[in-house]
Amino acid sequence: MAPTAPRLLLSTNRTIHVIGSGLAGLAAAVRLASAGHPVKVHESAREAGGRCRSYFDAALELTIDNGNHLLLSGNHAAIAFLRTIGSLNKLTGPQEAVFVFADLATGERWRLRPNNGRVPWWILSKARRVPATRALDYLALSRLMMAGRDQTIGEVIGCAGRLYQRLWRPLLLAALNAEPPEASARLAGAVVRESLARGGAACRPLIAADGLGAAFIEPALAYLERHGAVLRFGRQLRRLDLAEDRVRALDFGDDVVALARHDVVILAVPAWVAAKLVPELTAPNEFRAILNVHFAIAPPRGLPPMLGVINAATEWLFAFPDRLSVTVSAADRFNEAPRESLARTIWGEVAALAGIDGTMPRWQIVKERRATFAALPKEDARRPGARTQWRNLILAGDWTATGLPATIEGAIRSGNRAAHMVSTAQSC
């Protein structure tokens, strides 16, 4: 007989220790606290949020996000999370799916407008699809939804031509944070399956206009406090005391927390941290950077909230009430670039796109060198499930095997999965 998967230890008096207060950890804690479980959240930083956080930047004299994040209306786990913590109204977006693009080289602009239903009649409309493309060109994308785990996007669809350069590359690059020719076709297929394949109703772009902190983090912390969860910051986990088949203690250096027999640990930390804490853990070990550049200037009238850009270093331009922000994915090539010259390059593009004259305003560059795991087939294969060989240790994080790239939706789903395993007291 095959060995039986380890089950979580049962007890009505157990405490769940959540290590990490990024979105995966917060999602797990919120779901468990709402079900009446005693929850303690331990965070190494002085504030919650991980990569999904807001902070006051002295150079800009503004509160900004660590990185610009986009949700889609079909991100059901993220939407449900915001509804639970009472902040769904913090997301803003158009009433229908619309994506505005600009070609900086030619000056052309166009709108992609998928229709709401699952039957994609929008590809038959020249007014809704990418200019100078044919309806038949779009059918190639269906091959991604049948791709094998070891295939790259470049092996499944052609990574050249007008449609690729003006639509597939910017969308897939943003979703996977890896250049499409080398990226996982399976992960790309999952993105397509949950967005364009479900119609425009699942593709409305949603932005936290007042910041990620106001939408995701502060309401989650308030919710946890109302439900009796204990939040502890500035506590870096140094070591898991592992013996036999369970975690016996959490070593925070100056404090060691002994675990009761039925306590459970949800480890919701970055992949490289988890790999140091959990012996022989197989986890992604290659990462990709994301570059965000912020300018303290109010957007001009008529600029869309989000603009996709091709033939430029700028890839996405976000118009917030008090600033213009640029996001560049798979941005390792800019890791060592001088900050001021990079800011001037990006500002020149932003000024041209937004029709702004004048000197460069106050600016800030945020380089997240390990923003996501590299969404390559070999790295996707290294993503572990939530279950571990220790009966009271569960993994969570967008780098675990969620079936999605490293996204807000994937992080929250992983936290939900970990919470479900605790609530049902079994591995999944």
Give yes or no for a contact between 71 and 91, defined as CB atoms under 8 angstroms apart: yes
The full set of domain ranges for the chain reads: 16-52+212-285+376-424, 117-198
Q: DSSP state, 180?
A: G
Q: Is the model's pLDDT at 305 over the cut of 60?
A: yes
Given a cut of 90, whether residue 201 has pLDDT beyond it is: yes
**What is the pLDDT of the chain when averaged over all its residues?**
94
Give the C-alpha separation, 379 to 91, whole Å. 32
Gap between the Cα atoms of 164 and 336, Å rounded: 29
What's the mean pLDDT in 201-229? 97
Q: For residues 238-255, give the mean pLDDT.
A: 96
Tell me, what's the pLDDT at 425? 66
pLDDT of residue 424: 85
In this prediction the pTM is 0.94
pLDDT reported for residue 427: 39
Q: How confident is the model at residue 1 (pLDDT cuts 50, 70, 90)?
A: very low
User: Which of the four pLDDT bands, split at 50, 70 and 90, describes residue 3?
Assistant: very low
Q: What is the pLDDT of residues 8-41, one digit of tens each?
A: 444 456 899 999 999 999 999 999 999 999 999 9
Task: Give per-residue pLDDT as tens, 229-242.
Answer: 999 999 999 999 99
Please write the tens of the pLDDT for every residue from 361-397. Answer: 999 999 999 999 999 999 999 999 999 999 999 999 9
pLDDT score at 5: 45
Q: Could you tell me the two tokens for 147?
A: 């791709």
Average pLDDT over every residue of 163-184? 97
Give per-residue pLDDT as tens, 63-92: 999 889 999 999 999 999 999 999 999 999
319-340 per-position pLDDT tens digit:
999 999 999 999 999 999 999 9
Whether residue 415 contacts residue 268, with contact meaning beta carbons closer than 8 Å, is answered with yes
CA distance 5 to 388: 9
Coil, strand, or helix at residue 412? helix
* CATH H-level, domain 16-52+212-285+376-424: superfamily: FAD/NAD(P)-binding domain (3.50.50.60)
Type of residue found at 423: S
Nearest to 71 by CA among 207, 218, 171, 216: 207
Q: Give residue-wise pLDDT tens across range 90-120.
A: 999 999 999 999 999 999 999 999 999 999 9
* Model pLDDT, residue 114: 97
Judged by DSSP in three states, 313 sits in: coil
| 6 pLDDT above the threshold of 70 | no
CA distance linking residue 73 with residue 363, whole number of Å = 31
Angle (nearest 5°) at CA 130 between 127 and 134:
90
Report whether pLDDT(349) > 80: yes
